[in-house]
Chain A
Amino acid sequence: MTKMKKVSRRQFLQASTAVGGGLALEFSIPGNALAQLGTPATVSEVTHWIVIHPDDRVVIRIARSEMGQGSLTGLAQLVAEELECDWNKVSTEFASPNEHIKRKRIWGSMSTGGSAGIRTSQEYLRKSGAAAREMLVSAAATQWNVPASECTVANGTITHAKSKRKTTYGKVAAQASKLEAPKEPKLKDPKDWKIAGQSVRRLETPDKVLGKPVFGVDVQLPGMLHASIAQCPVFLGKLKSVDTSAAEKMRGVKGIVKQPDFVAVVADNWWRANEALKKLKIEWDGGQNASASSDTIYAMLKEGLDDPKLPAARSNGDAAAALASAAKVVEAQYYSPYLNHCTMEPMTSTAWFKPDGTLEVWTSTQNGEASIAAASEASGLPLEKCEVHKMMLGGGFGRRGAPQDYVKQSVAIAREFAGKPVKLLWSREEDMQHGYYRPASLVRMKAGLDASGKMVAMHSKIACPSILALLRPEAIQKGIDFTATRTFSDSPYVIANDQCDYAMRNGHVPVGFWRAPGLQNSFYRECFIDEVAHAAGKDPLEYRLAMLKEGDKNRLVLEAVAKAAGWGTPPPAGVGRGIAMSDGFGSYTAMVAEVSVDPKGAIKVHRVVFAIDSGYVVNPDACRAQAEGNVIFNMGQLYEANTVKDGRIVESNFNDFPLPRIHEMPKVETVFASTGGFWGGHGEPGAMCVVPAILNAVFAVTGKRVRSLPLKNGVVSA
């Protein structure tokens, strides 16, 4: 922990409150952190994560975003646990990206993805809580002139038993905040947790249940205008011309913004903006991609698989030789389509160029730092003159992290209406057709078995557009994008000769981090292993276990899920069971699905049992919710696809991109097989096994092997 300079902290609090506070209170905008602190003189920033009020209220700062995954509450639980405060007096506020920049990134990463919110910040957050506790105790001990070691603390109350004195955090916070934070405060053994590890209710739920304006799309500001946007339907295409004459005359229209790749109408009401947008006569120049289609993309991927000179993401032994001499070879090709994230809240961002030369942005973002960088880049203003108010997200799933396209657009639009806030909201059609899609991919797998059925060789070839090439090119190593090769390149199965080749074939459709990036590989690997197990005449569970080292945590979750699901016992009549296993995002997971298929081929998922070892579980109920959500979210993969024609996405709304509904929701049972000693995620791990567990169950009950998604006509074909 760094030494803090008390004077600058006070100045910081005053400045922050002056900048954001008045506005936020006046219009009840749930903006950033310091907006709601109250009078600077009365609150104490004990550490940069913890602010304590004289009446003992504790405000915990959250640097990551809340998009439904629940980590806002989980992060607060971890801090509160070490702080030993009264949980009923805890509230949270988002750390301000602007102050973050000014204070040299004091709150660490703001990125909220990769199921990393808790697992990559738990240590410094817990230490901050523990440090604050020690500082508060020390302040009380000094006041009482007793050794700190004689003081005890519980629920925000400090006690010196010998002298029968008590005080509360609120009373000593001001003194405590002047102390230097201890560098290595002692952390609790998770066995002693009282707040963390409990299913406390999520802190933000009451506001959401009351319909309070907490989302990006809810922002209301004085004199605010509304924008609706039309982007070039062919990705990477440009605006050629636009006839705005009809739109300009429409009621409420304040202006039309033309940019190289989009047109936006700005009006006094979003519906009016959107109606006028429909009246624009736009000519686009799709360029060379205007003839791309799902067929040309498939051909591109297939060509990748046929490329003899692919870089290897894994190369153990000699797969080619082992396959050549194998007693039996199993071979299969699998395919998955592009998929939109379909957050229920479409992309939205409000930008306001203020008279004092600053820019404020309100948006639903998975990364406040990425948003402030986007605002700075799009406006040309230095970071210090920009602020981003992090709002609750109406879903994220990876869409609102790296790209920040909608933030840049809102800044470009608002710049033409300087002095007035402009809220950009994409129509659902724009959202569906301008995503950063889960990449389509084609994978060919070959397994070589010896005479006993043991897998002695595995060779996988993956053709898949690279997310990293588009969004984080610096992370590509030797031609390998690990988000495209994972699950094969890091498979825990012990196979003597194991090769994984990667064909990076990018195409023009933007790809992005879609909940559990690379999860299609779990579908491929785990269904293929199932095929191989059946070809070897082995039980799919036993076959997997035989390929896993003793002590491998993957074994433990497989065994846990099998036990909970009753693997090996007869399933209900007409029902098949499928099993799958995948590790990722710091956790180990396995799943069993119970499925029936009606005579028309329609799949019904009855029951899903999910086992996860994430080391620790900070909020069991929130983690169960993630498991439940992951199951139904990914069941949509059975019939969802974004297809391409004339260079553009064909699907436009939920009528032609159907999301699962309540009648499809199966019973989900979550087993926490926590072994401790490490920290894994929960937002994405539950996604990986859903498709393979279900499709393996489909095979068990029908004998039909589904190798390509979506299901043709939504059913298992004859």
Chain B
Amino acid sequence: MVKLNVNGKAHSLDVEDEMPLLWVLRDELKLAGTKYGCGIAQCGACTVLVNGEPVRSCVTPAASVSGKKVVTIEGLARPGLTRVQKTWIEMGVPQCGYCQAGMMMAATALLAAKPKPTDADIDAAMTNLCRCGTYARVREAIHAVAGEKPASKKA
């Protein structure tokens, strides 16, 4: 049995120890907000927070996070949207949106660690892939959450 705490809720799951956290979330707990993109920790679509740290859940065995606090995109907004989520909406960051759960989890962790991240900090932390090309807005939104630029829409 793998014991998990996901979004504040305790689960005891009869799954293989090596089953990646991603597939426990998606197929066992039916939390589909966390996405599969590559399975080899390249794209970051599967990023979740484990004790506040961004983790690529596709290569993280579920058993290895037993006893730790896992937060997924579904658990980020409690109560209401977080500032990251609100800013993502205000600035129109997502296009297709598939990578954005991972992006927002990574941005949330970055902003918790560095409330005023530099562009270099963003480059280093935001290694998630986005095929639609939302990178400029991801950067702008992170700066906006940090209070460095107004989160207003361009005219």
Q: Let me know if A69 is at the binding interface, CB within 8 A.
A: yes
> Which residues of A from 37 to 94 have beta carbons under 8 Å from B?
67-70
B-chain residues with CB within 8 Å of residue A653 when the two chains form the complex: 38-40, 42
User: Chain B contacts of A67 at CB under 8 A?
Assistant: 96
Known: A428-B38, A625-B92, A662-B126. A209 touches B85 (CB 8 A): yes
Task: Determine the chain A residues whose CB is within 8 A of the CB of B135 once the complex forms.
Answer: 628, 632, 660-662, 664-665
Checking B27, B30, B155 against A226 with a beta-carbon cut-off of 8 angstroms, the contacting residue is: B27
Point out the residues of chain B lying under 8 angstroms from A333, CB to CB.
Answer: none
Judge whether A667 is part of the interface by a CB distance below 8 angstroms: yes
Q: What is the minimal beta-carbon distance from B127 to any residue of chain A, in angstroms?
A: 6
Smallest Cβ-Cβ distance to A27: which chain B residue: B30
The answer for the CA separation of A640 and B73 in the assembled complex, in Å, is 31
A628 to B28, CA, bound (A): 37
Contact bitstring B23-50, A, C-beta under 8 A = 1, else 0? 1001110111111111110110100000
Whether A630 and B133, one on each chain, are in contact in the complex, defined by CB atoms closer than 8 angstroms, is: yes
**Contact digits for B59-79, partner A, Cβ 8 Å, 1 yes 0 no:** 000000000000011101100
Give the interface segment out of A167-175, A389-397, A441-449, A535-543: A389-397
CB distance from A97 to the nearest CB of B (A): 21
Q: Complex: how many Å from CA A70 to CA B132?
A: 11
B53 to chain A, nearest CB (A): 19
Do A271 and B98 touch across chains, with their CB atoms under 8 A apart? no
- Contact partner of A208 (CB less than 8 A), chosen from B97, B131, B139, is B97
Q: How far is the CA of A345 from the CA of B46 in the complex (A)?
A: 11
Q: Are A345 and B133 in touch, CB under 8 angstroms?
A: no
| Contact partners of A345 in chain B: CB under 8 A | 35, 37, 96, 98
Contacts of B6 in A (CB 8 A): none
Query: For residue A396, which residues in chain B have a CB less than 8 angstroms away from its CB?
Result: 96
Identify B33's interface contact among A211, A268, A667, CB under 8 A: A211
Taking the closest CB of chain A, its distance from the CB of B126, in whole angstroms, is: 5
Nearest CB in chain A: distance from B71 CB, A: 11
What DSSP secondary structure best describes chain B's contact surface? Answer: loop
Taking a contact as CB atoms under 8 Å apart, the answer to whether B139 and A205 are in contact is: no
B151 CB-CB contact with A under 8 Å:
no
In the bound complex, do residue B92 and residue A622 qualify as a contact, i.e. CB atoms below 8 Å apart?
yes
In the bound complex, do residue A269 and residue B153 qualify as a contact, i.e. CB atoms below 8 Å apart? no
Residue-by-residue, is A199-226 near B (CB-CB < 8 Å gives 1, otherwise 0)?
A: 1011011101111111101101000001
Confirm or deny: B130 has a beta carbon within 8 angstroms of a beta carbon on chain A: yes
Check A269 against B74 for contact (C-beta < 8 Å): no
Q: B34 contacts which chain A residues (CB < 8 A)? A: 211
Contacts of B123 in A (CB 8 A): 662-663
Quick check: A206 and B35 within 8 Å, CB to CB?
no
State the CA gap A214–B33 with chains docked (Å): 9
Q: Is the CB of A211 within 8 A of B96?
A: no
State whether A271 touches B85 (Cβ < 8 A): no
In Å, the complex CA distance between A653 and B40 comes to 8
> What are the residues of chain B within 8 A of A215 when measuring CB–CB?
32, 35, 97-98
Minimum C-beta distance from B79 to chain A (A): 13
B-side contacts of A208, CB under 8 Å: 94, 97, 100
In contact, A211 and B95 (Cβ under 8 angstroms): no
Q: Is the C-beta of A436 less than 8 angstroms from some C-beta in chain B?
A: no
- Tell me, yes or no, whether A342 is within 8 Å of chain B by CB: yes
Residues of chain A contacted by B131 (CB below 8 angstroms): 342-344, 395, 397, 633, 659
| CB–CB A344/B72 < 8 A | no
Q: Would you call A655 an interface residue if the criterion is a C-beta within 8 Å of the partner chain's C-beta atoms?
A: yes
CB distance from B13 to the nearest CB of A (A): 11
B38 touches A625 (CB 8 A): no
Q: Which residue of A lies closest to B92 (CB)?
A: A621
Q: Nearest Cβ in chain B — how far from A663, in angstroms?
A: 4
Say yes or no for B122: interface residue by CB 8 A criterion.
yes
| CB-contact partner of B99 in A69, A213, A344, under 8 A | A344
Q: Compute how far the CA of A416 lies from the CA of B137 in the bound complex, rounded to whole angstroms.
A: 45
Query: Quick one: closest A residue to B22, CB to CB?
Result: A271
Binary contact track A605-638/B, C-beta < 8 Å → 1, others 0: 0000000000000000110110011111100000
- B154 at interface by CB-CB < 8 Å: yes
With both beta carbons as reference points, the residue of chain A lying nearest to B23 in the complex is identified as A271
- Say whether A393 contacts B96, CB under 8 Å: yes
B113 on interface, CB distance cutoff 8 Å: no
- Does the CB pair B95–A69 fall under 8 Å? yes
Identify the closest chain B residue to A622 (Cβ).
Answer: B92
Q: Is the CB of B40 within 8 A of A209?
A: no
* Known A270-B26, A344-B35, A661-B129: A202·B92 in contact at CB below 8 Å: yes
A336-372 CB contacts (< 8 Å) to partner B: 342-346
| A425 at interface by CB-CB < 8 Å | yes
Decide yes or no whether A186 CB sits under 8 A from chain B.
no
Query: Which residue on chain B has the smallest CB distance to residue A396?
Result: B96
Give 1 or 0 for each of A636-679: 1 = CB within 8 Å of chain B CB.
Answer: 00000000000000000111000111111101100000000000
Q: A427 near B: Cβ within 8 Å?
A: yes
Nearest B-chain residue to A210, judged by Cβ: B77
Which B residue sits closest to A668, measured CB to CB? B136
Q: Would you call B104 an interface residue if the criterion is a C-beta within 8 Å of the partner chain's C-beta atoms?
A: yes
Smallest CB gap from B101: residue in A? A211
Partner of B96, one of A201, A226, A395: A395
B54 interface hit (Cβ, 8 Å): no
Roughly how many angstroms separate A202 CA and B97 CA in the complex, as a whole number? 12
Whole-angstrom CA separation of A346 from B32 in the bound complex: 15
Taking a contact as CB atoms closer than 8 A, the residue among B72, B127, B132 that contacts A395 in the complex is B132
Q: Are A628 and B137 in contact, with the CB atoms below 8 A?
A: yes
* A251 sits at the interface (CB 8 A): yes
Asked whether any CB of chain A lies closer than 8 Å to the CB of B148, the reply is no
- Given the interface pairs A425-B36, A662-B139, the reply to whether A629 lies near B132 with Cβ below 8 Å is yes
Interface contact A344-B96, CB-CB below 8 Å: yes
Q: Give bound CA distance, A201 to B89, whole Å.
A: 8
In the complex, chain B residues whose CB is within 8 Å of the CB of A202: 92, 94
Contact with B along A535-579 (1 / 0, CB 8 A): 000000000000000000000000000000000000000000000
Tell me the bound Cα distance from A69 to B131 in angstroms: 12
The reply to whether B153 and A199 contact each other, CB–CB distance below 8 Å, is yes
Does A344 contact B130, Cβ atoms closer than 8 Å? yes
- Please indicate the chain A residues that have their CB under 8 angstroms from the CB of B92 in the complex: 199, 201-202, 205, 621-622, 625
Q: How far is the CA of A653 from the CA of B36 in the complex (A)?
A: 13
Do A659 and B129 touch (CB < 8 A)? yes
Query: Smallest Cβ distance from B97 to chain A, in angstroms?
Result: 3
30 contacts between A and B (CB under 8 A): A70-B95, A201-B92, A205-B94, A208-B97, A209-B94, A210-B33, A213-B32, A215-B97, A215-B98, A226-B27, A270-B26, A271-B19, A344-B37, A344-B99, A345-B37, A345-B98, A346-B37, A621-B153, A622-B92, A628-B133, A632-B133, A633-B132, A653-B42, A654-B42, A654-B43, A660-B135, A662-B122, A663-B123, A664-B135, A667-B136
Beyond A270-B27, A628-B133, 18 extra complex contacts between A and B, CB < 8 Å: A199-B154, A205-B88, A208-B100, A209-B100, A210-B74, A212-B33, A217-B35, A226-B27, A345-B96, A395-B96, A621-B154, A622-B92, A628-B136, A660-B135, A662-B135, A662-B139, A663-B123, A665-B139
